[in-house]
Amino acid sequence: MKVLKAGAAVATAVVLALTATACGSGSKDSASDAGASGGTKSDKIAIGIKFDQPGLGLKTPDGKFEGFDVDVATYVAKELGYQPDQIEWKQAISAERENLISNGDVKFIAATYSINDKRKARVDFAGPYFLAHQDLLVRADDNSITKVEDLNKKKLCSVTGSTSAQNVKKDLAPEADLLQQGGYSECLTALENKGVDALTTDDSILAGYAAQEKNKGKFKLVGLKMSNENYGIGLKKGDKELQTKINAALKKMVADGSWEAAVKKNLGPANYKNEPAPQITEGS
Amino acid sequence: MFDFLDSGQYDLLGAFWVTVQLTLYSAVGSLVWGTVLAGMRVSPVPLMRAFGTAYVNLVRNTPLTLLIIGSSLGLSQTLGFNMGGSTFKETGFRLAVLALSAYTGTFVCEALRSGINTVPVGQAEAARALGLSFFQVLTLIVLPQAFRAVIAPLANVLIALTKNTTVAAAIGVAEAALLMKEMVENEADALFAVFGIFALGFCLLTLPTGLLLGWVAKRVAVKR
């Protein structure tokens, strides 16, 4: 890998040189920006969410935003002093989340963002505000999968390159026939047509799809807890003040019952048994 | 910065090897199919000309992503046509080759047709005067000269094809772009390094192709 690495270093240097001129502000400048304007003074707040995950973060055809992540973000923004009409929603696709935060394009991100060490090298987290598990979605009349080992004889679908897909390939069921598609909607089509036997990713995401009006009654969750995904709110590295404020907002949301209500409203229709609100572990 | 390459978690060479295989199989497929299409488009039979024209204009103006996802969702998932593959890995690869050949064939066809136009009309007339059939005129006289004129444009098509194989990641073919998605998902702290590696990888594949075929084009060009 020596030659590869040397070559890669050269290529990266070129890429970096190009992007450095394009992006301008280094992390230091934008950090001081955020500090100066922080709080209630500016009248808009940019928040990153997913636009394509029903039940969690979804942009509806009429331009509204709905889902559990949206409700959490709205509540947190309110605690930070912003009314819902002052929120500017930005799409945070998985690969771009760290860049959106470190470039200062968004104040924070609530988008099924699992806390892990690699990500903590680039951003800080508040929370976690939700505990999800990797799980399976199957057709409602299919009872053939009861444990993880059953997967080895099954056809499985997940999203290209996702953590769930990698877990299946490496650890959970290396012999399962894994179909990787561009999005969960394609997987649902395959599941409905019996092209695959199960769809795997976080149970919260699966519940969101199963709870959609057009899918009601067609699918069910198996309830295997194959991993722990602690969703956190991503924010700029080193912004302790914002982290403390968001943590306080999340605690308040759980305490006054809005958290439970938001889970029931967005994920409830799929008979999803959610975990209780997790303890805040970040930044304390 | 490049520590993750040493972890043994990513099979970089393996992923690029799948990219190379996709490119080679699709290159052969599209060369054959493109030649057939070009033959149809210059043939004296109106029905064949109409089919060739309709196919080329329909397929080359359809986004490749649509063709590849269509072949996966439509052909494989819905119609159950799996190209003889028993696992998704095999099926996905074959479907990707099918879709890439169907798409790239149109560009090969058009390059070849412009090559046919460079062959002086006298050549075909002389061949016909000798009593050769249309098929013989095309395969013995016109196409050999046409091919030698279009090596350079075909090199462009081949380079475009190499890069187009990344679309196969959309249906889960484990080539370079899919590995890049995995690395981006896992290595949030080394995003630019990941991009750099894959940019370099594709340059290593395409630059020599261009240089080699440029040299060949000069060597075999018909001097008129």
Q: In what order do the strands lie in the sheet with A124-132?
A: A87-91, A45-49, A108-109, A229-235, A124-132
**Cα–chain-centroid distance for residue B8?**
32
φ, ψ for residue A39, nearest 5 deg: 90, -145
Q: Which residue of A has its CA nearest to B203?
A: A11
- Cβ contact A8–B172 (<8 Å): no
Q: For the stretch A158-171, what's the b/e string if a residue is b when 16 or more beta carbons lie within 10 angstroms of its beta carbon?
A: bbbbbbbbbbbbee
Quick one: DSSP state of residue B78? I
Residue of A nearest to B187 (CA): A118
Closest CA in chain B for residue A182: B170
A189 interaction partners in chain B (CB closer than 8 Å):
73, 77
Would you state the pLDDT for residue A16?
55
pLDDT along chain A (284 residues), means of 10: 63 57 43 43 83 88 89 91 90 86 90 87 88 90 84 88 86 86 84 88 89 84 87 90 90 89 82 80 74
Please give, rounded to a whole number of angstroms, the shortest distance from the CA of A126 to a CA of chain B: 18
Query: For residues A188 and A206, what is the distance between their CA atoms, to the nearest angstrom?
Result: 10
Phi, psi of B120 (to 5 degrees): -55, 140
Whether residue B35 contacts residue B135, with contact meaning beta carbons closer than 8 Å, is answered with no
The CA R_g of chain B, rounded to the nearest whole Å, is: 21
* Confidence (pTM): 0.78
**What pLDDT, on a 0 to 100 scale, did the predictor assign at position B142?**
94
Q: Which pLDDT belongs to residue A37? A: 44
Instruction: Write out the two tokens for A274.
Output: 């959610």
- What band does B51 get if pLDDT is binned at 50, 70 and 90? very high
Chain B residues 183-222 within an 8 A CB cutoff of chain A = 184-189, 191-193, 195-197, 199-200, 203-204
Return the pLDDT at A31. 40
pLDDT tens per residue across span B60-115: 999 999 999 889 888 887 787 877 778 888 889 999 999 999 999 999 999 999 99
pLDDT in tens, B155-213: 999 999 999 999 999 888 888 998 998 888 788 778 889 999 999 999 999 999 999 99
DSSP chain A: -HHHHHHHHHHHHHHHHHHHHHH---HHHHHHHHHHHTTTTSS-EEEEE-SEETTTEEE-TTS-EESHHHHHHHHHHHHTT--GGGEEEEE--GGGHHHHHHTTS-SEE-SS-B--HHHHTT-EEEEEEEEE-EEEEEETT-----SGGGGGGSEEEEETT-HHHHHIIIII-TTSEEEEESSHHHHHHHHHTTS-SEEEEEHHHHHHHHTSGGGTTTEEE-------EEEEEEE-TT-HHHHHHHHHHHHHHHHTTHHHHHHHHHHGGGT--PPPPPPP-TT-
